[in-house]
Chain A
């Protein structure tokens, strides 16, 4: 007989319960109904702050369930224990055999006068962040200097919120009642350093005080603190702790904890045997847990009980690590040395900016610790809590990789590696040894380790190494070789087709991963060692990703964008005019890109050759926005016009862009040239960046933007133009030959044995004796360069491919349509697609 489980709340813990039950209930003994208050399915609240990076809610998705009735945006408002029913706000009623409360908690807002004025926010849901974002935008639109915000609460969450506000361009004030930041996790020593570090991040810290009142001031707010400080603000975010949402339980007459929370026993059962409570709303034997890992443990425990398995809540690891980029803070175990007889070992250096403390028992067992400024030892230390320290405390605190530091080998099997999902070292090594997990992805699939906050992923990789697993660099299932090895093979054997390569060195017919990778290698070798090759010549055409196949970037509705090269960002009015005319004539959306050029969107396949004919006739050429190849060399205006400039940065940028254009590489390559140290071209955010000096140029390598921004590092300084170009030639050729598929220059250098120093030895000191060859290869590339679009326009066979329908050339694609926004066109996606239901 099927019974009905009703879950109130679809947050992280409710989601885990349902996922766990559905996976284990193979017989289908439970019908599962989830009633959630938020308008969307559960998402990764732990990663909420990352939402501000792209405002992409999809990125926080926790994965959909199958076989679950999900009713969202409709909270449970009453529980009738007699009748075993719950009723929602909309009046919907469900009868349950088992009810699980997973209602989480709500932010605590101190009852300061004015706390409910417009401009006051909390920080818990995607909707909260959307509201904050809107307020920030409104504040910026009012343009009164830099917008300011106050965050009430200097704990873990308050600092996260402050960092998010700073990233949105505000100057945040953090107000904490306790005498130090993160009072629960760190001690005074750690707190002092933490304050210094976050102040450097542009936060203003007020400790030992609190908000006394908030008053409106036109469209802004004024906050008065108890120490007399007055702050002029655009918005306020309360992050002063949370309160369990036990209101349903209270109304239904269930017992609640002394400090709130639905009171449950060690099996998470409430005073009513048909009702459980899990996650932040539960007070397990009177104690609430504000972290996700204990909630997941409770979810797994209750899923087990619903299927007839007994169990008990084992207590929880309350370790925490602040997730702010740039400020390392971690605290674990008995951080405040509360254990009788505990000893503290402190290592602090205010100049280098770290504070590290270990708490040990008199017989050398690690009890806990605090790390501020450098938390690299956290991953290793946290799992060791409860075990004797395997080495001298000072060695344990040395940065990872430093001599004397201790490796994963030292951890006992029972050491927890993934605290979010309670996975031990033993369970992971077991999965590696007996279940054949040979990659981080496989371990994630098998054990769930690494799937929540991700902070344990480096440890997973180390455990694979420690188990002797050589992590595969194979390109895909068709080749056991890495990209670098394929490059060597193709170069040495002079193989010129994918067909021959896969027949001799691979298996099967290839796929969407290996084909473009090999196409790129064949193109690079074709232009740097032979007489040049067009990326759409012969078999190469069949290997290219769609963008390369049509020499344009496909957009979400199947149309393309067109980006002519505008080297160094320099363009004549005449060419600007041609771009404007072409865009008007073909009805294209136009936008200035982040790479100092102009992108025209919304061209159909059929239009591409006609558009390019116009551009090529006007002296323009492909900008390779579609290729894994050189994109742009950004420039600042430099010495020609700028009063500070010391070299001609535009001239150099144009020269570099024209030199390297078209070269196919493992990933895209970007560069910048600035005319002086003010760095207006943001050259250090590029794969190679050049900054002018009084004496010549400084060359920096290995920078990028993107998800993990990196600053490029100095390779050589004060070199003349000729040497600069020689070093860049070698840098690029060495990268193109040896990097992995889709590896930008920063991770390539990082992975290189010897790192930047080794790179310098190779391309400056010629330690490997390959410089002559690298120089010759680049010279050949420069000599062979030809515009790809001109190549298409001159070849009827290639041109014929630019059509929507082979059987109806010239017929427009009927699925493409546009609407208008801000006076330009934008794509409209198809309604219901042609899907066969299964």
Chain B
């Protein structure tokens, strides 16, 4: 427990997340992580930056599934990113960084 807290960054209480939406967390070094809770209860972390639109907006996109694959659609130009791998479903040559996210004692943590 104590070791975990030193290695991870606290995001918020799990109860604050709305299933099907995301929130953004700021890492100590200035990077931004978009954290999503899906309707089925899974948590994912992706870089918050949409590489197509070049803006930090992915946490504000809509979450859904396509053929079972969970994705977030960028709110700007709607490219979809696989929440599990960060791969863009509309242009597989592009992928964004993923982050490991977990819950401890009802609090969401991200591994930077």
Contacts and interface: CB of A to CB of B under 8 A. Distances in A.
A557 B75 CA distance: 11
Contacts of B64: 478, 508-515
Nearest to B92: A838
17 contacts: A477-B67, A542-B20, A550-B60, A554-B57, A554-B60, A558-B76, A806-B25, A815-B32, A816-B56, A830-B56, A833-B49, A834-B47, A835-B96, A836-B86, A836-B96, A837-B95, A838-B95
Contacts of B70: 509
A553 to B, nearest CB: 10
Nearest to B47: A834
Contacts of A830: 49, 54-56
B65 A815 contact: no
Interface in A803-819: 804-808, 811, 813-816
B75 to A, nearest CB: 3
B39 A509 contact: yes
A541 interface: yes
A143 interface: no
A556 interface: yes
B10 interface: yes
Contacts of A516: 62
Nearest to A513: B64
Interface string A524-551: 0000000000000000011101110110
Contacts of B24: 804-806
A774 B67 CA distance: 39
A829 interface: yes
A499 interface: yes
Interface in B11-43: 11-12, 16, 18-21, 23-26, 30-32, 38-40
Contacts of B16: 800, 806
Contacts of B26: 804-805, 807-808, 811, 814
A510 B61 contact: no
Interface in A542-584: 542-543, 545-547, 549-550, 554, 556-558
**Which of B51, B64, B70, B93 lies at the interface centre, i.e. has the most chain A CB atoms within 10 A of its CB?**
B64
Contacts of A515: 20, 62, 64
Interface string A124-160: 0000000000000000000000000000000000000
Contacts of B11: 806-807
Given A546-B61, A807-B26, A834-B47, A509 B55 contact: no
A394 to B, nearest CB: 49
Interface string A504-524: 000011111111100000000
Contacts of B10: 807
Contacts of A838: 87, 92-95
A549 B60 contact: yes
Contacts of B75: 545-547, 554
Interface in B53-110: 53-57, 60-62, 64-68, 70-71, 73, 75-76, 78, 80, 86-87, 92-97
A556 B55 contact: yes
B76 A554 contact: yes
A127 to B, nearest CB: 26
Nearest 8 CB-CB pairings of A with B: A511-B64, A546-B75, A512-B73, A542-B20, A833-B51, A558-B55, A512-B62, A806-B12
A605 B23 CA distance: 12
B53 A556 contact: yes
B20 to A, nearest CB: 4
Contacts of A814: 26, 30
A514 B86 CA distance: 23
Given A546-B57, A805-B26, 16 more contacts: A499-B39, A510-B64, A511-B65, A512-B78, A512-B80, A515-B64, A550-B60, A804-B26, A807-B10, A807-B12, A814-B30, A815-B55, A834-B31, A835-B51, A836-B96, A838-B87
A558 B57 contact: yes
Interface residues of A, number: 46
A541 B23 CA distance: 13
B interface residue count range (under 10 / 10 to 19 / 20 to 34 / 35 or more): 35 or more
A514 B66 CA distance: 12
Contacts of B19: 542
Which of B55, B60, B68, B86 has its CB near the most chain A CB atoms (within 10 A)? B55
Contact of B18 (A542, A550, A554): A542
A478 B67 CA distance: 9
Contacts of A811: 26
Contact of A813 (B40, B47, B56): B56
Say whether chain A's binding surface is mostly helix, strand, loop, or mixed: loop
B55 A546 contact: no
Contacts of A510: 20, 39, 64-65
Contacts of B57: 546, 554, 558
A541 B97 contact: no
Contacts of A805: 23-26, 32
Interface centre among A511, A814, A816 (most CB of B within 10 A): A511
A547 B87 CA distance: 25
Contact of A512 (B50, B61, B97): B61
Nearest to A831: B54
Nearest to A554: B75
A514 B19 CA distance: 16
Nearest to A814: B30
A807 B62 contact: no
B66 A557 contact: no
Contacts of A547: 75
A558 B21 contact: no
A556 B76 CA distance: 7
A717 B97 CA distance: 61
A825 to B, nearest CB: 16
B62 A545 contact: yes
Nearest to A502: B39
Contacts of A815: 32, 49, 55-56
Nearest to B93: A838
A756 B9 CA distance: 61
Contacts of B56: 558, 813, 815-816, 830
Nearest to A807: B25
A508 to B, nearest CB: 5
A514 B20 CA distance: 13
Give the most central of A478, A512, A516, A605: most B CB within 10 Å: A512
A546 B60 contact: yes
B16 to A, nearest CB: 6
Nearest to A805: B26
B40 A509 contact: yes
Given A811-B26, A830-B55, A830-B56, A835 B95 contact: yes
B38 to A, nearest CB: 7
B76 A549 contact: no
Contacts of B68: 508
Nearest to B46: A834
A811 B30 CA distance: 11
Contacts of A813: 32, 56
Contacts of A508: 64-65, 68
A541 B51 CA distance: 26
A509 B49 contact: no
A509 B67 contact: no
A508 B87 CA distance: 20
B20 A543 contact: yes
A741 to B, nearest CB: 15
A811 B32 CA distance: 12
Given A510-B20, A815-B55, A829-B54, A834 B76 contact: no
